[in-house]
């Protein structure tokens, strides 16, 4: 039996592989699905076996899986295309008779009404229809989505979005979500279950701005703009018009409380508290030198 990770060279995939190895899984029992041998060089250097495949080429998944394998399907990065892309993996996994298909979906699952979650709902339906033993990892937002621009935030002196001052979001670090994936791939009792994964505490962007200011020693505030103004900012930064609409809608989802839940599933899976947003801010500020 092997553990197969799709998108294994991505941010989450690399962390999941590292966590599996730290848990004692032999590297040669892990198969990393990557788009090219070059992209998988770091993994191969750790002893991980590679399978070269592309979500857009269903035939490339031939031989990726074997009966009894446990598989982590890390969702693709292109909203609107992920349904058929993921179907290629699901069909190959079903044909091989894998023992588990874990999938990184969206917090809220079928209740996540915003467009960025459409592909995730579709994928969960495809997995259910396949009859495969599944584990749904419904991930909230990664803290790094917000802290990754900490240099720009400090330079501008502001966090700007369409989120109201009182609205909250319960993020966690990528390492937390990767640890949860490793836990369900190596543990028992996780088949045919869905986990709502979020941080232990929900925070506001005012609190986020204050923490960045405290740690950086520079004044930073939270600025709420109208949705139309946010879209203009995003398009002006080079984002396609349609994707800007999707991101603006995410802020609306935050305002409506869709990403504020703290059910505790993530901490229970990883056996420790989730990483506070202040720690992720500190980690990203440290990279600035």
DSSP SS3 for 123 = helix
pLDDT at 82: 87
Q: Note the pLDDT of residue 26.
A: 97
Instruction: Work out the percent of the chain whose per-residue pLDDT is above 70.
Output: 100
Is 24 in a helix, a strand, or coil?
coil
Q: Where residue 81 falls among pLDDT bands split at 50, 70, 90? A: confident
23 phi-psi bin (left φ>0, alpha ψ -120 to 50, beta other): alpha
Q: What's the pLDDT at 80?
A: 80
Domains of the chain: 3-139 (3.40.50.720), 140-173+198-261+272-289 (3.90.25.10)
pLDDT (tens digit per residue) in 48-79: 999 999 999 999 999 999 999 999 999 987 88
- Round to whole Å and give the CA distance between 36 and 143: 28
Q: How many whole angstroms separate alpha carbon 30 and alpha carbon 27?
A: 5
pLDDT, one tens digit per residue, over 85-94 is: 999 999 999 9
What average pLDDT does range 89-116 have in this prediction? 96
Q: How many CB atoms lie within 10 A of CB 261?
A: 18
Task: Please give the mean pLDDT across all residues of the chain.
Answer: 96
The predicted-structure confidence for 11-31, as pLDDT tens digits, reads as follows 999 999 999 999 999 999 999
- Find all residues with CB under 8 Å of 90, minimum gap 6, and list them: 73, 101, 123, 126, 127, 130, 132
What are the tens digits of pLDDT across the range 122-132?
A: 999 999 999 99
């Amino acid at each position: 039996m092997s553990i197969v990770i799709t998108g294994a060279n991505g941010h989450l995939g690399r962390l999941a592989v590292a966590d599996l190895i730290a848990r004692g899984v032999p590297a040669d029992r892990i198969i990393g699905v990557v788009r090219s041998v070059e992209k998988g060089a770091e993994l191969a250097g750790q002893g991980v076996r590679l399978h070269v495949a592309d979500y857009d080429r269903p035939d490339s998944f031939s031989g990726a899986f074997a009966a009894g394998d446990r598989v982590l399907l890390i969702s693709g990065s292109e909203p609107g295309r992920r349904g058929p892309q993921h179907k290629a993996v699901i069909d190959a996994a079903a044909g091989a008779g894998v023992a588990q298909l874990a999938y990184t979906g969206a917090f809220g699952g079928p209740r996540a009404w915003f467009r960025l979650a459409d592909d995730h709902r579709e994928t969960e339906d495809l997995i259910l229809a396949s009859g495969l033993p599944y584990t749904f990892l419904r991930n909230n937002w990664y803290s790094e989505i917000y802290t990754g621009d900490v240099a720009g935030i400090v330079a501008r002196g502001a966090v700007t979005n369409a989120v109201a001052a009182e609205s909250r979001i319960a993020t966690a670090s990528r390492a937390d979500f990767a640890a949860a994936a490793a836990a369900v791939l190596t543990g028992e009792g996780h088949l045919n279950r869905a986990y709502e994964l979020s941080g232990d505490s929900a925070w506001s962007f005012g609190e986020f701005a204050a923490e960045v200011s405290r740690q950086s020693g520079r004044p930073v505030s939270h600025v709420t703009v109208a949705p139309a103004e946010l879209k203009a900012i995003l398009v002006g930064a080079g984002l396609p018009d349609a994707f800007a609409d999707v991101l603006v809608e995410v802020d609306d989802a935050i305002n409506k409380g869709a990403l504020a839940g703290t059910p505790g599933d993530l901490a229970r899976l990883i056996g420790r508290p989730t990483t506070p947003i202040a720690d992720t801010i500190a980690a990203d500020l440290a990279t600035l030198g």
